[in-house]
Structure 1
């Protein structure tokens, strides 16, 4: 086994999050202005990724309007995203330079935006567009947070040393509430706020103070020294009985509302959790599950009583391509691609460790990136997708500006990248691609599939496949059989379709029975025409492509799924097959390899594995499913030869060593 540990992506801090409770989607933005849409219906996984670009280099605030996603940033633009094409849909200029925050009213008819110069912009939301309506009276200082009240008639904004309550109808500030200062020369910054249905305003500021205000009269009700440093984020439960806050002091503190004498209510400090060591910049609630993230880039999910899951800042799969013939591994980063050779050994084992001695160390061959000039400065474009041919001769990657196809030529002791012409199809970005012998199958962001033939340093589209009858969304997963006979595509709505090669053209073959959850990984067996698909709820199926039906093993597996497969904390990222044993399936998630033996079952009475025929009515037996946990943050698993397996992993230490220092706190007399 090759343990690839030179994949070292730098963690990107999470700046803000927005929850869409109806569809259970969580949108989060990172420091490089990339966007991730997480699907939370079952096991959380990244459903879509909108890569960073030079036209949208900053995201400071996010908000959902039903299924539409908006953001604002330091560029002073209100941006709406196309979640089908995964690109910017529209832009609107905001008055007042840089924008720090936005909020949408309960009627989904207006957007309020706070800016650097103190202008509070109001935009109207129409079916297809967003129109500027007005801005309210200019205030002194920047607006760093704001919220609509439940009626939509008032807006509460937070800035330096004060909160203001605005009337949307009269465009004027009704109340100004002064926070006070911890130090005379140091202004207090109101970083976050939320509003309850009875118009109580709860704010968190740079003193670490949580303050409750009466919005009707503009007076302070309660004040708590909640944290030792800035409170950067607040989150209120749907029933408004529970409140979470965190910030530079990473402790997540919970406050609950209790009744006291005279039928009045008061906020009381409850449990305290420490799931992060660095600044917590964003909090979001999905029922009783609390999602938090910040400077360390990890997305943490905690829910009562003490359950905690953490998801590493790793790109959406697939982000690794193995070239078995060339023995290369291609690693995708947010803004560049690296191609490495694998290490070589003469087969001698170290007597002490039992590992093979590396005679030829892995070597980085090339680094590929897309650089554009913006105001005489070189800036890198974000990578949407990337892949490499099995012989290591061709590299394909896509940015928002289009697709580039490069030929890797070895001249004496040097490597050279030669562009390949992409006539008529390279201008449209693609969201996925896979090589199939002399072809490359591309999934453009406008939908459908394109089959591109590569010959004589030219790449020409020979077929365009219309997928509207099979797919409801753009294709996110692609797979092809070893002989290129079968082509498989999957998307986030749960559809998986198969095409077959006839007369050198792909034609529609069949559809895999639609499942309630989206697929996260798929693979075709190299020897047997069997397709294995893994879904987000850890359901796994095996589909016989020659018979166009589920196999007996798949039906038996769904009747009695193994416990080690059902109780997983992260979604399956890749599917592999042992070339030496046709009956074995390898599944890989964040921290383990799951090995399923199709011929071995475990009797529930004596728990001993035995080989026998599969019977559809056998409910008292489970398949031999074993979990191997030797890695942490396992990114990809695949074979490069008959007896060589490659495991690409990210060391958690390499993620934390790039982080800034955290808040120094005294604990039991020590720092």
Structure 2
């Protein structure tokens, strides 16, 4: 085991759920955005890095499949989800913007600002236009929400909730919240509006209050929490409400009908103790509650059965790159990257299986500060590919000193790059996927870099999320979230379109190429595993057999496969890993024979615990001894490298949690 720089937890700032696509847009405190796909297992489908201009995100909203944000910079920003960058920027009136809501049917956006201006923007097909702003109020607008028809806007601020008529621009009702202390103002942090125009607010007193929006009167109020309520969410049918905040307990309220009357009442239902620190984001999807806050974990809980899942703040793959021969490890963080030289393991018997102690400790060689989306490196070179363009360096480590030499400037170096990879053969090339589309191939000769070829593929219809080259350097593979995976072949000194994998209905979460056979292995978000024989341009016989023999517990996995690696000594071994386990597939084992033998046992499935391995009916070996396994890859010979994020390193960086008395004690 070796210790690297601890991962810096970036708390959640804002998020919103796209019901139609079942995608969750998440912004963190560093102004980066993650798009999570929740259709099967949850995974980061794509991510957008922060920039010097877009340094803050306070509000985030979907308008159909378009994504918008506002922040302290006072801009309404629309994002291009294919290019993964800002598409347009519109200045708002009133300095910093703190909240945003969009009425999809009217294609209208409302923005609340520091100076009390409520801006209205019109969202057209090809542009965003300022329409008007409503009457100026005193003080900052902290939260706002459209009613179901888009005729009214409800805003929350200090000591008051206002209801605005969008057409006239005037406030028609002002409801005061009251104060728990005379000199301490009440801040309305969050609110929501139901279809029947019931307004629900959460404030700094920890009170959850229900208002009649038609007459501007309070209906009922609950002392829900012992501290500020920062967030709330309604279920799709508006029968259930969850809220949380500085007091991290998540309380659930249910709407019940009053017998003999058409009215209803909200009653407290379930209390969930999931987080230890502030919770500032909640959403309900398919009866599952997703929550996030200061601890930077994305959490999912549901019942039945009682289940709590937590996803650590690990960046989208690839966040680790290994130069096997040189034993260099490159780690990507949100604002910088590090290059480490791996240590050496102690000698052990050939029959020994397990971890070995280190005879030499790993050493940090380089820290490079940047804002990046991707990077790659061969044994001597590394490329840094950022939202501002591409930079290529030559890395040298001589006499205990590391140096980074800039290589000749690249053509089109100012175009942002999404993915990149070096070819491993003697004809060294840098292959990049710019956000303008296509794939650009650079030749690297004698310290000079020039464009060799531009590959245009109509088969790739979305942003490229996978780009890799086979170990032999003969095949180039690219894939997108729409399950398009295309293969090019190196012939006559150029890349030519060679084949395409069968398109599947779910997106891939991991793609890899076997170093010996060049077979492409893909794992999809519903846990389906596919092996594609590149030379025969068809699915392998093992792949077809595997789909019929996969056990039910595999199909019901809750964490996505992050990475795929192989044992170069044995072509029949495929190694997968997710957040907390390693899965080993032996292709040569007779699955039918194994299944018949296992049927006589009491347990059809045996899962390995504490690092001991046991085969189940389909020769799937599962090793469960890790927490937050970020990367696993074969190093050289009989060595593997596992990069694990220590949960304690995240907890140690968190601020103090809210202190509550429990049974008379703190």
Q: Normalising to structure 1: TM-score of the pair?
A: 0.93
Give the drift of 1:454.
1.0
Distance 1:67-1:458 versus aligned 2 partners, 3 A rule: same
Give the 5 Å matches for 1:99-248.
99-248=97-246
Which deviates further from its counterpart, 354-363 or 452-461? Answer: 354-363
Q: Distance in 2 between matches of 1:555 and 1:348?
A: 39
Q: Distance in 2 between matches of 1:571 and 1:413?
A: 40
Give the 5 Å matches for 1:493-572.
493-572=482-561
Give the 5 Å matches for 1:583-598.
583-598=572-587
Give the drift of 1:348.
6.0
The 8 Å contact of residues 539 and 558 in structure 1, kept in 2 or not, is answered as yes
Give the drift of 1:287.
2.7
Instruction: Name the SS of the counterpart of 1:559 in structure 2.
Output: helix
The 8 Å contact of residues 245 and 280 in structure 2, kept in 1 or not, is answered as yes
Larger RCO (CA within 8 A; separation ≥ 6): 1
Matched, 1:574 2:563: yes
Distance 1:574-1:247 versus aligned 2 partners, 3 A rule: same
Give the drift of 1:670.
2.1
Aligned to 2:405: 418
Deviations 1:546-587 (A, max 9, x none): 111111110011112134532322111111111221111000
Distance 1:560-1:348 versus aligned 2 partners, 3 A rule: closer
Taking only aligned residues, the RMSD between alpha carbons, in angstroms, comes to 1.6
Q: Distance in 1 between matches of 2:42 and 2:109?
A: 29
Distance 1:53-1:495 versus aligned 2 partners, 3 A rule: same
Give the drift of 1:414.
2.1
Deviations 1:25-74 (A, max 9, x none): 10010000000000111101000100111110000000000010000001
Q: Distance in 2 between matches of 1:228 and 1:441?
A: 55
Give the drift of 1:435.
1.1
Give the drift of 1:524.
1.1
Alignment equivalent of 2:658, drawn from 659, 663, 671: 663
Instruction: Name the SS of the counterpart of 2:462 in structure 1.
Output: coil
Matched, 1:266 2:265: yes
Q: Distance in 1 between matches of 2:409 and 2:563?
A: 30
Instruction: Name the SS of the counterpart of 2:358 in structure 1.
Output: coil
Give the drift of 1:100.
0.5
Aligned to 2:608: none
Q: Distance in 2 between matches of 1:640 and 1:355?
A: 14
Q: Distance in 1 between matches of 2:553 and 2:105?
A: 45
Q: Distance in 2 between matches of 1:633 and 1:308?
A: 15
Which deviates further from its counterpart, 523-532 or 76-85? Answer: 523-532
Aligned to 1:97: 95
Aligned to 1:12: 10
Q: Distance in 1 between matches of 2:184 and 2:236?
A: 35
Distance 1:70-1:523 versus aligned 2 partners, 3 A rule: same
Q: Distance in 2 between matches of 1:330 and 1:29?
A: 25
Deviations 1:446-481 (A, max 9, x none): 11111111122222110110012x211121111211
Give the 5 Å matches for 1:46-85.
46-85=44-83
Alignment equivalent of 1:45, drawn from 35, 43, 46: 43
Q: Distance in 2 between matches of 1:355 and 1:544?
A: 33
Matched, 1:442 2:432: yes
Instruction: Name the SS of the counterpart of 1:606 in structure 2.
Output: helix
Q: Distance in 2 between matches of 1:623 and 1:236?
A: 42
The 8 Å contact of residues 63 and 104 in structure 2, kept in 1 or not, is answered as no
Aligned residues: 641
Alignment equivalent of 1:400, drawn from 387, 397, 403: 387
Give the drift of 1:411.
4.4
Q: Distance in 2 between matches of 1:357 and 1:237?
A: 51
Instruction: Name the SS of the counterpart of 2:587 in structure 1.
Output: strand
Aligned to 2:31: 33
Matched, 1:635 2:626: no
Distance 1:197-1:657 versus aligned 2 partners, 3 A rule: same
The 8 Å contact of residues 192 and 232 in structure 2, kept in 1 or not, is answered as yes
Q: Distance in 2 between matches of 1:463 and 1:236?
A: 52
Instruction: Name the SS of the counterpart of 2:547 in structure 1.
Output: helix
Q: Distance in 2 between matches of 1:541 and 1:622?
A: 19
Q: Distance in 2 between matches of 1:240 and 1:355?
A: 52
Distance 1:233-1:128 versus aligned 2 partners, 3 A rule: same
Distance 1:287-1:541 versus aligned 2 partners, 3 A rule: same
Aligned to 1:474: 463
Instruction: Name the SS of the counterpart of 1:603 in structure 2.
Output: helix
Aligned to 1:613: none
Q: Distance in 1 between matches of 2:26 and 2:357?
A: 43
Distance 1:7-1:647 versus aligned 2 partners, 3 A rule: farther
Q: Normalising to structure 2: TM-score of the pair?
A: 0.94
The 8 Å contact of residues 106 and 150 in structure 2, kept in 1 or not, is answered as no
Deviations 1:485-515 (A, max 9, x none): 1111111001111110111111001110001
Matched, 1:649 2:644: yes
The 8 Å contact of residues 5 and 648 in structure 1, kept in 2 or not, is answered as no
Distance 1:651-1:211 versus aligned 2 partners, 3 A rule: same
Give the drift of 1:354.
8.0
Q: Distance in 2 between matches of 1:544 and 1:197?
A: 54
Aligned to 1:431: 418
Which deviates further from its counterpart, 104-113 or 585-594? Answer: 104-113
Distance 1:661-1:483 versus aligned 2 partners, 3 A rule: same
Gaps of 5+ in 1: 371-381, 610-620
The 8 Å contact of residues 635 and 648 in structure 1, kept in 2 or not, is answered as yes
Q: Distance in 2 between matches of 1:577 and 1:68?
A: 39
